[in-house]
Amino acid sequence: MPARNEIRGLRRFLLLAAKAVVVVYVILDGIVTPIFRPLLRWVSRLRFVIRLQDIVAALPPYAILVLLAVPLAFAEPAKIYALVLMGEGHFASGLAMMGLAYLVSLVVAERIYNAGRAKLRTIAWFAKLMDWLIGNRDRLLAWARTTWIWTFSIRFKRSVRELITKIRLRFRVAYGRFWH
């Protein structure tokens, strides 16, 4: 029988590993999600997607869980494999795979989760897991927002938006003059 300290040590290690996975996932998600956000909004307004969400919402909780697991079972390992591909020098292939994996997880899985969230939260262990994941994500984001790199990123993002706005205005003025 393993000693109590060994069990505690193993438990701490596993919790640390789980937190590391959450950190990496949150960072990648924070980078990629804004790229897909406009597509996600567009897809969520499609009539057939709304109908499918209604069908999902009518399913029992464990059926929704299985339905949610299917796209994630393909997308999440594909993201890891995409990183491996990029690391081995196949950047274009890895980037394409990463894009498709995020498309599946953010569009398909996200729609399933949103449609079945209320029923999924009736599964006690799932609700506890989601609370833990969301809590870790929120703590990580709160910490990240206190760093200088976050402040720099926000300023840089604003500067880029202002530059794009100025360029668009110049093209509109030039384009308007050209046609009139």
**33 close to 106: Cβ distance less than 8 angstroms:** yes
For residue 176, what pLDDT is reported? 60
Integer Cα distance of 73 and 80 in angstroms: 12
pTM for this prediction: 0.62
Where does 88-109 have alpha helices with state H? Answer: 91-103
Res. 168: pLDDT tops 60: yes
For residue 115, what pLDDT is reported? 93
Integer Cα distance of 55 and 48 in angstroms: 11
pLDDT, tens only, 48-107: 889 999 999 999 999 999 999 999 899 889 988 988 898 888 989 988 998 888 888 878
- Give the CA count within 13 Å in the CB-facing half-sphere of 10: 6
Integer Cα distance of 73 and 51 in angstroms: 24
Integer Cα distance of 137 and 33 in angstroms: 14
For residue 32, what pLDDT is reported? 66
Domain boundaries, the chain: 4-137, 147-180
**26 close to 137: Cβ distance less than 8 angstroms:** yes
Q: How many other β-carbons are positioned within 10 Å of the β-carbon of residue 144?
A: 15
For residue 28, what pLDDT is reported? 66
Contacts of 126 by beta carbon, 8 Å cutoff, 6+ apart: 65, 120
